[in-house]
């Protein structure tokens, strides 16, 4: 008997990295999304491809190096720890660290170009090898640079040759020290050696006519985060690479160029004199929901080996709606806008359904996966910024088990309570551990968004960081489940069943109520409940006129509405002849309204007129309840 087809068991959205996606066939053909950043890198208009971890930098690099990418030859370079250490240690007396490291990168590029040209001349041009190419071959042989070796080995030889001025340049008809005076610095000698080598490479490109006859040689440098640490030498390593890449494009006349793939958190820390000269070379990877949906659909169809429409993916394989929201909107709103997060989230939904034996992904599968995914991402965020912001993980408790809307005043108050301990634990970062500094870090990492106009803006593109005059911040939906911050504000839900003593103790202005409630007439009980109804109605009318965030206002409105509806329901029961402990009911409402005022103040919503209104209404109800018991008071409508 043929087994029934289960689409969930075959559904797969890809791996966590581009290398494995390429092996699985999910990074080629129609599956790869030719984004704006990819097109700009392919055309050569942009040479610095900048993006966050998981945004698709390596996917672009892999695609450019593949048969469907750059039409000319490519040289992928991915430095490892050993190579990075070799570059970090490289210094030359007489020149800056940035310049020294740019020279070792230039040496690596020149040797790769020389090796390419010696193989390329006969294969691509097919005529007698010019003398400039023969000179390059001789240089490579003399300096042991002919083999397919690790980047580390090439760097080690380059470091030795440039520092000791012992590169053999006889192939170009000169000695290393020609043109350098006696007693010249290491930097001057190394610069002279590089000039000779680069001139030889440029001559070969010119003699072969490479710039005019075919696409350029493209050097692709990726995964610099593998060799990055937060120290001046790492800074110089990347800065030197930028300087060397610009030199390549300028010096070789279009026959060779570089594309560098750099994480945004690394690039944004760079600070050097020529930094303003690179803006025209930059392209930052950004993703829209539409772009991520296209990635999702293409990968799903590729894994199922069938045509698939968006309606089939989001209406049949996935449920049409989750928690009252269209499924695609629900998912993409709860992931940072980058392919890796999308892939991991959707795979988590699929795995949950598959583990349960479901033939379709259910709403329950998605909700369970959402909790798991949120925990993953909170941990991953701390790891992503471990080098630049090692204190990031220690900031998360500021947002645990509280509302996801945080006003500046409340955030500053919570931070100050922990600031001394943070500065002790991270003394090297003490000057950055200020309230504004923490806000900037959390915003830059995508953890916090800032309210601007009617929208909440998260980091990305050209959006400016939070300004001192901006006061409302929102935790990204991705992290809310892991933090226990599902509601906009941490308001205790109204529960009239709480005991009178517990409720009254929560109210700082409470009076002690004694005596028995038995024997109160129904008309007085109805009047007391009318007082609760009127207090709630006054507060609900006031809410739209105060400066609460929209989500917080909706939550407060909902809770006050519960108090109101409960009072109305109890009133109707009394009129129908039922009995109720109305005094306790009024005290419960009074204590709850006073508690709302306290909680709003703790969250930084310090609109004095609003909190005073809640406090006044609570006192009015207390006096009403006291009058009902002691016979001395009545309803007070002033506020």
User: What's the pLDDT tens digit per position in 296-313?
Assistant: 999 999 999 899 999 999
Spans in the chain with pLDDT lower than 70: 1-5, 18-30, 124, 126-127, 175-183, 461-462, 497-522, 606-608, 627-639
Taking the C-alpha atoms of residue 272 and residue 274, their distance in angstroms, rounded to an integer, is 6
Strand partners, 474: 405, 449
Closest to 342 measured CA to CA, from 574, 103, 15: 15
pLDDT at 432: 87
H runs (alpha helix) in 316-400: 327-333, 339-355, 363-384
Taking the C-alpha atoms of residue 289 and residue 337, their distance in angstroms, rounded to an integer, is 7
pLDDT at 22: 56
Three-state secondary structure call for residue 48: strand
Q: Supply the pTM of this predicted model.
A: 0.81
Closest to 338 measured CA to CA, from 19, 12, 16: 16
pLDDT at 45: 94
Give the containing element (helix H, strand E) for 346. Answer: helix 339-355
Distance of CA 566 to CAs 7, 301, 536, 585, Å?
Answer: 48, 52, 11, 9
Cβ count within 10 A of residue 395: 21
Phi, psi of 47 (to 5 degrees): -120, -10
Closest to 132 measured CA to CA, from 171, 177, 106: 171
Asked if 191 contacts 159 with a C-beta cutoff of 8 angstroms, the reply is no
């Amino acid at each position: 008997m043929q087994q029934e087809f289960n689409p969930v068991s075959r559904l797969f959205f890809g791996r966590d990295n581009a290398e494995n996606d390429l092996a699985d066939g999910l990074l080629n053909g129609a599956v790869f999304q030719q984004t704006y950043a990819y097109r700009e890198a392919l055309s050569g208009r942009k040479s610095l491809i900048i993006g966050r971890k998981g945004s698709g930098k390596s996917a672009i690099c892999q695609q450019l190096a593949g048969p469907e990418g750059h039409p000319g030859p490519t040289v992928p370079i991915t430095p490892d720890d050993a190579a990075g250490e070799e570059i970090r240690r490289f210094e030359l007396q007489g020149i800056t660290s940035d310049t020294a490291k740019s020279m070792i990168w230039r040496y690596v590029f020149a040797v790769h170009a020389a090796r390419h040209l010696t193989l390329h001349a006969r294969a691509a041009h097919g005529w007698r090898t010019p003398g400039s190419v023969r000179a390059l071959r001789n240089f490579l042989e003399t300096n042991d640079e002919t083999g397919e070796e690790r980047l580390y080995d090439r760097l080690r030889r380059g470091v030795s040759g440039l520092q000791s001025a012992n590169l053999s340049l006889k192939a170009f008809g000169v000695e290393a020290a020609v043109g350098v005076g006696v007693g010249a610095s290491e930097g001057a000698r190394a610069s002279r050696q590089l000039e000779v080598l680069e001139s030889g490479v440029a001559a070969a490109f010119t003699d072969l006519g490479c710039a005019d006859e075919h696409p350029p040689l493209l050097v692709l440098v990726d995964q610099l985060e593998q060799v990055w640490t937060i120290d001046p030498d790492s800074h110089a390593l990347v800065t030197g690479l930028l300087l060397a890449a610009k030199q390549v494009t300028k010096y070789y006349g279009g026959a060779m160029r570089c594309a560098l793939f750099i994480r945004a958190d690394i690039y944004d820390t760079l600070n050097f004199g020529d930094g303003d000269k690179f803006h025209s070379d930059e392209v930052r990877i950004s993703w829209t929901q539409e772009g991520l949906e296209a990635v999702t659909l293409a990968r799903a169809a590729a894994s199922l080996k069938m045509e698939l429409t968006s309606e089939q993916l989001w209406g049949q394989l996935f449920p049409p709606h989750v928690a009252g929201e269209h499924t695609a909107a629900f998912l993409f709103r709860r992931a940072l806008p980058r392919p890796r997060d999308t892939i991991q989230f959707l795979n988590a939904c699929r795995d949950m359904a598959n583990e349960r034996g479901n033939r379709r992904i259910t709403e329950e599968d998605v909700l369970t996966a959402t909790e798991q995914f949120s925990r993953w991402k909170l941990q991953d965020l701390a790891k992503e910024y471990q080098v630049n912001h090692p204190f990031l993980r220690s900031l998360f408790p500021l947002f645990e088990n509280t509302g996801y809307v945080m006003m500046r005043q409340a955030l500053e108050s919570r931070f100050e309570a922990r600031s001394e301990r943070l500065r002790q634990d991270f003394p090297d970062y003490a000057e950055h551990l200020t309230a504004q500094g923490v806000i900037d870090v959390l915003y830059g990492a995508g953890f916090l968004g800032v309210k601007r106009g009617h929208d909440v803006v998260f980091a990305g593109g050209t959006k400016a960081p939070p300004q001192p005059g901006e006061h409302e911040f929102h935790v990204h939906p991705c992290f809310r489940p892991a933090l226990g911050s599902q509601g906009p504000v941490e308001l205790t839900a109204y529960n009239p069943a709480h005991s009178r003593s517990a409720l009254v103790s929560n109210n700082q202005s409470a009076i002690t109520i004694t005596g028995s409630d038995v024997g109160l007439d129904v008309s007085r009980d109805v009047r007391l409940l009318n007082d609760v109804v009127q207090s709630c109605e006054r507060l609900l009318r006031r809410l739209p006129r105060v400066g609460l965030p929209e989500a917080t206002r909706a939550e407060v409105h909902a809770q006050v509405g519960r108090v109101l509806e409960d009072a109305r329901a109890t009133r109707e029961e009394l009129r129908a002849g039922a009995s109720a402990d109305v005094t306790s009911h009024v005290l419960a409402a009074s204590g709850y309204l006073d508690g709302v005022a306290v909680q709003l103040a703790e969250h930084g919503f310090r609109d004095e007129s609003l909190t005073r209104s809640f406090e006044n209404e609570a006192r009015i109800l207390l006096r009403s309840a006291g009058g009902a018991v002691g016979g001395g008071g009545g309803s007070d409508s002033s506020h």
